[in-house]
Structure 1
Amino acid sequence: MNKILTVSLIFFLILFTAIVKNSTKKLDDEIFVLNENIRSLKKDFGNIKLEYDYLSSAEKLLEFQNSYFDNELIKKDILEIRTIKKDSNKFQVNEFSFTNE
């Protein structure tokens, strides 16, 4: 009777260990996938934050203009902007329409 009880206890412990090991493996895989997604999102966030903080500020844009373009850029009045359409071999110049008007 003791042998049967000992063998069944050992079998139960082996089975229980296999179940626990399998479930922790699944949890580890889910955690790995979530960490990879977070890493990707952090990278995207860093790039977007860099663009927003440094490239879109007026001071930085003026600094880049002075550094890289010297006197190549000139200011234009927004009302002077036109659009060009090509219809069959003719070009048509129209006023630029703003989306919020």
Structure 2
Amino acid sequence: MDNEKLPALPMIDFPDYNEDTQNYLWPVIVKYYGKPAIEFSCSKSEIIKAFHLLDTLNENDSVKAITIDNRTFGLKNLDSMQFEGRTYDFA
């Protein structure tokens, strides 16, 4: 992980995220309507950044895409994103 500091997070929400696990790769599944699922893995720190972005979507309508690691996903026709045992459904 680079030297960039992540915002303070409730560690109860990410009990397995610590110095030893921060560089492990975690599965991500992105689904668009009518398309095959996109599956890849990325670091836990990138998933945490995506969580924060997803949590602001309702507050910030100007967000048109979600970036996870080096991949960018447009919101148009996005069905769902799954990571860390959570599924985010999009209308």
TM range (shorter): under 0.3
In our comparison, the structure showing a higher alpha carbon Rg is 1
By percentage of residues, which structure has more helix?
1
TM-score with structure 1 length normalisation? 0.21
Using structure 2 for the length normalisation, give the TM-score. 0.22
Q: More strand per residue: 1 or 2?
A: 2
